[in-house]
Amino acid sequence: MRHYVSTSEEGINRESLPFKLYEKAKKFGTWDPRNIDFSKDKADWESLTKEQQTSLLTLISFFYSAEEAVTNDILPMIYAISKTGHFEEEMYLTTFLFEEAKHADFFSLVLQTIGVRRELNSLHTPAYRKLFDELLPETMGRLMVDQSPKAIADAAVVYNMFAEGILAESGYWTFYENLKNINKMPGLLEGITNIKRDESRHIGFGTFLLQRLMSEYSDILDYVLNKLQGLMPLALEISNSTRTGDVNPFGVAVADNQAFMHKQLNARIEVLKRAKGKTLEDIYKMDVVFE
């Protein structure tokens, strides 16, 4: 017999962290890429040097296909959460899927605006493909047949902590550093700001999920921290795979970007450790933390 959460004695837990994330997504996740003012972006794009265009287009191509990849790859996570009976988490994940698709929609509009109509797969480096063509789909796809705590933890580490929490965050940093100082492409930056806000909920969900697993299974904390630290060489490999010198064509130091990545790693680890010694009930009652 199916177990219904909604009509059980406890009902939906409206005070739980995943439900609060769902409420936030209903409020803040409904921005429309079509409403962004791109009127200045085309001329700004044309004013960039060839090297700057190549650098920015590579970053855009990384994000655009990554948004498509994460739209595809969140589906097994939704399946696994549904199978293990966490309805509030599943409610939140319905917004997650929509938002990832919308992010791909946004990058499609950016390319249309700047008049780039060509294949961009050739810009993807082997290090990028290692994550988005192999590690991510394999880790997420496993959830279709294995919903064990470690399989779910692996998925949250690779998808939410690493791809979203470290790589994407350092990508936003690069977009801002590249364009803020020269005051160009405001439409692109407005979309990035909106995406970053959506992504902070996604990372918040992954953090909650890992903390829940840590409170339920005592061996998960060390397992997760080791796994996350073990992924850092891949983050640096991806960063180095596009490097053309010590500073990029916008004058931004690669070392500063990599320092930011390490800062993100440490922030993720510190937040995860807050679950130490907490009960499942404590974890459900925690406030949504946006780093």
Which residues in this chain contact Fe ion in the complex, by CB under 5 A? 67, 100, 103, 164, 199, 202
Contact present, 143 and 152 (Cβ < 8 Å): yes
Burial of 205 (0-12, 13-18, 19+ CB in 10 A): buried
Minimum Å gap between C-beta 46 and Fe ion is 27
Q: How far is the CB of 70 from Fe ion (least distance, A)?
A: 6
CB of 203 to Fe ion, least distance (A): 8
| Cβ distance to Fe ion smaller for residue 89 or 164 | 164
Q: Minimum distance from CB of 64 to Fe ion (Å)?
A: 10
CA 243 to chain centre: 22
* Nearest to Fe ion of 24, 103 (CB atom): 103
Q: How far is the CB of 202 from Fe ion (least distance, A)?
A: 4
- Whose Cβ is closer to Fe ion: residue 48's or residue 136's? 136
Residue with smaller CB distance to Fe ion, 21 or 221: 21
Q: Which is nearer to Fe ion, 44 or 169 (CB)?
A: 169
Cβ proximity of 80 and 147 under 8 Å: yes
Could you give the CA distance from residue 139 to residue 122 in angstroms, rounded to a whole number? 24
Rounded Cα gap, residues 158 and 162, in angstroms: 5
User: Judging by beta carbons within 10 Å of its beta carbon (0-12, 13-18, 19+), is residue 119 exposed, middle or buried?
Assistant: exposed
